[in-house]
Amino acid sequence: MSMRDIRNLFLAALALGLVALLPLYDTGYILSIATTMAMFTVLATSWALFSGPTHYISLATAAFFGLGTFVTGLGFQTLPMWLLPIIAAGLGAVLAALVGLVTLRLSGVYFVIFTLGLAELVRQVVTWVQNRTGQRGMYVLTTITERDIYWQLIGLAALVFLVGWLIARSRLGFALRIIGNDETVAKHSGIDTAAAKILLFMISGAVAAVVGAIVAPRYIYIEPSTAFAPILSFQVVIMALLGGTGRLWGPLAGVIPFTLLWEFISRNAPNQTLLLLGVAFLLIVYVLPGGFVGLYERLRHRFGSGGQ
Amino acid sequence: MARVVLEVRDVTKRFGGLVAVREMVFDVHHNEVLGIIGPNGSGKSTMINMISGTFAPSSGSIRLNGQEIAGKPAHRIARQGVARTFQLVRLLPELSVVENVMAGAAFGHRKRWGSEAESFARTLLDRVGLGRQINMPVSSLTYINTKRVELARALACEPEVLLLDEWLAGLNPTELETGIDLIKSLRDEGRTIILVEHVMDAIRSLCDRCVVMSSGAKIAEGTPLDVLADAEVIRAYLGADEDA
């Protein structure tokens, strides 16, 4: 580990520590927005762990997230609360592995469509089961406060950043970058591309499921149409792309402004949120390819090394 | 005769009704440059693709140092010691030149990682003649330099057999001379190379032996001088001459 790595780790820990103090300052509106930000930070960062280097755009976040909320919804009365995220992680990883095995040969747009369909499929299955058993939604009434959820999410974010940092330095991370550039070269260089992709997709899926399990009490009432809402998948993708997936901190740089903007729009023009989503997407594609990270690198390149 | 490194036996590949490769048989010996030549569409690339594991043969056996590799996935074959370059150069555009070569070192036949892989990559880039351009972005390399980087990547896993799929194609006459010298020097290092090639000068000066394919089958085998004088080979390349 170089001095720079140690410094970065120290700074990251310091930042997380400061962020974790927020509930001491405010437990109302600001905490609520911060919790949303923390949630999307974890989702977008873990999404980018897989989709960033491989360029496989996954729209399955809602499937894993919804799975997690249902784990909590079904288990919070009978199982200890600490066990629920672990179960969610296990189920999320299994679901991701299954999807990975099926979609191994799919690339590009086929993978995107499949993952979008997956969230919808899971939602329909859950709805069907509920209709058969006469259930509708379920209430998740717990003593868990927003503060507890916030802290759990911050802890999870720390874990995801650590894992992402370790992967980026590992042979697995290098393998994924090669896969993202040219899968044929990757195979002929000795990389088990299928195993590498599935492993990362499992990590990404497990994290999204844990997020669902943690934030479920926040929703109080859970039903398939909200838990598996596809818009969540799109939000995650757009935030991650807005920030940029080239760096570990990239998605975070997208989550903060987007959450604030989303909040602003849904308060002032609640019917125009989808419009915002579309416009944001167009802007990213046309104006900010590579997101804020890409912009940062271009500026640094121009002003940093340009004078040498 | 040196030991046999690669043993191809009765390898056939069918794509639906089309037989692309028919019952191919040949050996590659240690420290030998074997040329696979033949007119366009004769099945050379298909043969190379089966050796490197791009796809499996319909039937037959391919052994590397006595171990069956036919039908194994490409990454397994690469780890067992087959490295290749591609007919159309494939570099990793978002990676640096050194990282491109490290890609071959990190997961291949002999694995290297970290600073060891990096210094090895630099040595190889130097070896293939990419000197000061080493820090350039991949996108601004000249054509021959992209080929050099790809060759260095293939060498980085220290393969038992190196497959060069038309590595010399598209080079101008000066570059061609450089390229031929480079491959010659690789052979002098004791490497084993299979060369798919159209450039006759290269075949004459590089290959120890040649296998000539036509319509998916082997029509001749021997030294370049012998096979290029073979009546059937001439017919395959130039077509039957009615007056002859």
β-pairing verdict for B33-37 and B209-214: parallel
Question: Which pLDDT tens digit goes with each residue over B122-176?
Answer: 999 999 988 788 888 899 999 999 999 999 999 998 999 999 999 998 899 999 9
Q: Is pLDDT larger for residue B239 or for residue A219?
A: A219
Quote the ipTM score.
0.91
B156: enclosing H helix or E strand: helix B143-156
Per-residue pLDDT, A198: 92
- DSSP state, residue B43: S
Task: Name chain B contacts of A191, Cβ cutoff 8 Å.
Answer: 75, 107
At position A299, the amino acid (one-letter code) is: L
Reply yes or no on whether the pLDDT at B241 is more than 80.
Answer: no
Q: Which site among B51, B52, B69, B75 would you substitute to test the A interface, given the most A Cβ atoms closer than 10 Å to its Cβ?
A: B75
3-class DSSP string for A66-108? HHHHHHHHHHCCCCCCCHHHHHHHHHHHHHHHHHHHHHCCCCC
Per-residue pLDDT, B179: 92
Question: Which pLDDT tens digit goes with each residue over B25-49?
Answer: 999 999 999 999 998 889 999 999 9
Per-residue pLDDT, A54: 87
Q: Is B218 on the interface with A (CB under 8 A)?
A: no
Reply yes or no on whether the pLDDT at B181 is more than 50.
Answer: yes
Record the tokens describing residue A148, joined without a space. Answer: 């507890």
Task: Name chain A contacts of B106, Cβ cutoff 8 Å.
Answer: 171, 174-175, 189
Per-residue pLDDT, A305: 55
Per-residue pLDDT, A306: 43
d(CA B36, CA B49): 13
Per-residue pLDDT, B240: 63
Q: Is B212 on the interface with A (CB under 8 A)?
A: no
Question: Which pLDDT tens digit goes with each residue over B184-224?
Answer: 999 999 899 999 988 888 899 999 999 999 999 999 999 99
**Average pLDDT over every residue of A57-67:** 94
- Kindly determine whether residue A191 and residue B53, on different chains, have CB atoms separated by under 8 Å: no
Question: Which pLDDT tens digit goes with each residue over A206-248?
Answer: 999 999 999 999 888 888 888 898 889 999 999 999 898 888 8
Q: Which of A60-64, A252-256, A293-297 has the lowest mean pLDDT?
A: A293-297
Record the tokens describing residue A296, joined without a space. Answer: 């940062």
Question: Which pLDDT tens digit goes with each residue over A78-110?
Answer: 999 899 999 999 999 999 999 888 886 676 788
Q: Is pLDDT larger for residue A104 or for residue B68?
A: B68
- Kindly determine whether residue B113 and residue A178, on different chains, have CB atoms separated by under 8 Å: no
| d(CA B134, nearest CA chain A) in Å | 18
| d(CA B159, nearest CA chain A) in Å | 10
d(CA B178, CA B173): 9
Q: Which of A171, A178, A189 sits opposite B78 (nearest CB)?
A: A189
Q: Is pLDDT larger for residue A299 or for residue B80?
A: B80
Other CB atoms within 10 A of residue B232 CB: 12
Q: Which site among B107, B157, B162 would you substitute to test the A interface, given the most A Cβ atoms closer than 10 Å to its Cβ?
A: B107
Domains, chain B, in order of start with CATH, read: 1-81+160-244 (3.40.50.300), 84-157 (no CATH)
Cα torsion A174, A180, A182, A184 to 10°: value is 80
Other CB atoms within 10 A of residue B9 CB: 14
- Kindly determine whether residue A187 and residue B75, on different chains, have CB atoms separated by under 8 Å: yes
- pTM listed for this prediction: 0.88
- Kindly determine whether residue B53 and residue A188, on different chains, have CB atoms separated by under 8 Å: yes
Other CB atoms within 10 A of residue B119 CB: 12
Q: What percent of chain A is modeled with pLDDT above 70?
A: 97
Q: Is B74 on the interface with A (CB under 8 A)?
A: yes
Question: What does the domain layout of chain A look like in residue ranges?
Answer: 3-229
Record the tokens describing residue A269, joined without a space. Answer: 């023009």
- Kindly determine whether residue B157 and residue A174, on different chains, have CB atoms separated by under 8 Å: no
Per-residue pLDDT, A204: 95
- Kindly determine whether residue A184 and residue B109, on different chains, have CB atoms separated by under 8 Å: no
- Kindly determine whether residue B52 and residue A177, on different chains, have CB atoms separated by under 8 Å: no
- DSSP state, residue B132: G
Reply yes or no on whether the pLDDT at A255 is more than 80.
Answer: yes
A172, A174, A176, A193 from A54: Cα distances, Å: 12, 11, 6, 10
Q: Is A171 on the interface with B (CB under 8 A)?
A: yes
Q: Is pLDDT larger for residue B77 or for residue A284?
A: B77
